[in-house]
Structure 1
């Protein structure tokens, strides 16, 4: 059995002259969370809709749990749960009836259906609201209910399009915990979000897309290492700061140095080993280094560096 539960192969989707998705390829291992990052209009939702069998590619293919979205859409739907960025509700049904409808739509019957309903209500924290009308739910509870709908048939793969949009901080934290727990249970999850700090915390790998092109993929640490080779260092000395500043400015890997008393702040191009060697060099020169603070580029910094803010 392949370790990749999501596989996208040279995916293209054109709308007239607009290339919404342009030759995208990536894969997500079983039990991993993949963060899909990009500005509005980048092609995220289009490619997620193709994975969910709601649209067909112009060229290329995608596979969910080993099945083609082009050739085996019915088999894909049984293995995939899709949570769109907005979803319809029904005014005159309660939460339990809403979930029961989708359980029946997926062919669940009898004891199996009852067990799935109970588990989903418990897992999403909506058990206490089972009899409450859907129209009376808050934004956060509606998102929980939508997640439950996507989970009702126990899919191997989850596609979540902006699930944290509009949620308060506590609701986002709860959602993040649920996503990580689902991954720990072996589910493969592809999630898009504009809240990059949250993606950095919950995702095993991320992909950055702009104008239909996938610009970077890999773990957050890998992308930070490859795309953001500069870091900011702050070195606090006990004395001789002006002399140290002159010595540092003469080195190739250092730029933008500013001195504030005995504090030196500068951009440093190098990894952890190079940073250690720099500090050792300063100590070897007789500078009394009291403190070193390293600020690595965040996922937001990398996103701003890789993308150009272009839309289609």
Structure 2
């Protein structure tokens, strides 16, 4: 759905984004990660048509953004890291203002605003003044604003910044629901564990270039060469360890009573065959689970900067 080629942005002699390539498939939640000054926000603004690239191309559904800005904007919903709100307006008035800008007719506007307020869990605040809302509520309201024209592609710059844990959980639930609705989402965030949990793919940017991208597991395998696995056995723990030590795709075995963790460099079919061999050797498996990759460790390995 989104294809970026040779994207570059220069400010005088300083290169903020350097010949960047990126592709985001339809229906993905793509996480954009990078240290301070890496070029994340600059890239998001160029994709959003708010900043003109020095060179390069951006395509959204095969639309050349630079040549068809108006058409591209119809497909884009942009939520910046810093957004303005009109404090003297009520929640419904605020959204009606942006619905009028988007050109919605009266019937469509009423239906859309009701659905958006329900989606972001603000129906009970419809008559509240914007300045009375908590930070989390204001951010959900801004997300609703970006959805007014029903875009297919959402660009969210630090959407959970400054939120308390409960508000971040609410935001994640909303983003998952948007994905179920068919939206494609590009999200920038410095809350790395939440990106690993939420995103289908990750791109790590440093000094204006993508240094690595893919699913978290794919990136972990690229960096370390293996994926982590944890198994729980009900019997024959020592026998299970000896069998694993004979497996060429298994490495770094760690034993803690009946819990065994190890690195695995094979694919899903290899994993299925390994489980089968353990069972045939009368090893009773209570569980067999991939370990959740640590995005913060990956980030520190592939970048030289500091986390934001």
TM-score range, shorter chain: 0.7 to 0.9
Residue segments in structure 1 that go unaligned for 5+ positions in a row? none
Cα distance between partner residues in 2 of 1:226 and 1:128: 47
- On the 8 A contact 2:220/2:298 being kept in 1, the answer is yes
- On the 8 A contact 2:30/2:187 being kept in 1, the answer is yes
Aligned-residue RMSD, C-alpha: 3.4
- On the 8 A contact 2:196/2:295 being kept in 1, the answer is yes
- On the 8 A contact 2:156/2:188 being kept in 1, the answer is yes
In the alignment, which of 102, 107, 112 is matched to residue 111 of structure 1? 107
How does 1:5-16 map onto structure 2 within 5 Å?
A: 6-16=2-12
The Cα shift of 1:65 comes to 3.1
Partner residue in 2 for 1:29: 25
4+ long deviations beyond 6 Å: 231-240, 257-260, 262-267, 288-294
Cα distance between partner residues in 1 of 2:54 and 2:74: 23
Query: 1:71-125: CA deviations, max 9, x gaps?
Result: 1111111211100011011121111111111111111121111111111111111
Which has the greater radius of gyration?
1
Q: 1:39 to 1:149 in 2, by over 3 A?
A: same
Partner residue in 1 for 2:38: 42
- On the 8 A contact 2:49/2:69 being kept in 1, the answer is yes
Cα distance between partner residues in 2 of 1:156 and 1:103: 17
SS at match of 2:71: helix
Partner residue in 1 for 2:15: 19
Cα distance between partner residues in 1 of 2:25 and 2:228: 33
Deviates more, 1:45-54 or 1:27-36: 27-36
Partner residue in 1 for 2:49: 53
The Cα shift of 1:233 comes to 8.2
How does 1:74-89 map onto structure 2 within 5 Å?
A: 74-89=70-85
The Cα shift of 1:156 comes to 1.1
Cα distance between partner residues in 1 of 2:255 and 2:200: 38
In the alignment, which of 185, 190, 215 is matched to residue 186 of structure 2? 190
Number of residue-to-residue matches in the alignment = 297
Residue segments in structure 2 that go unaligned for 5+ positions in a row? none
SS at match of 1:39: coil
Cα distance between partner residues in 2 of 1:270 and 1:167: 38
The Cα shift of 1:259 comes to 9.7
Q: 1:258 to 1:115 in 2, by over 3 A?
A: closer
Cα distance between partner residues in 2 of 1:25 and 1:290: 44
In the alignment, which of 154, 162, 174 is matched to residue 178 of structure 1? 174
Partner residue in 2 for 1:215: 211
- On the 8 A contact 1:14/1:21 being kept in 2, the answer is yes
TM-score in terms of structure 2 length = 0.82
Q: 1:259 to 1:159 in 2, by over 3 A?
A: closer
Cα distance between partner residues in 2 of 1:213 and 1:170: 34
The Cα shift of 1:239 comes to 10
Cα distance between partner residues in 2 of 1:154 and 1:118: 13
How does 1:199-278 map onto structure 2 within 5 Å?
A: 199-229=195-225, 270-271=265-266
Partner residue in 2 for 1:166: 162
How does 1:61-80 map onto structure 2 within 5 Å?
A: 61-80=57-76
SS at match of 1:41: coil
Q: 1:132 to 1:114 in 2, by over 3 A?
A: same
The Cα shift of 1:299 comes to 1.8
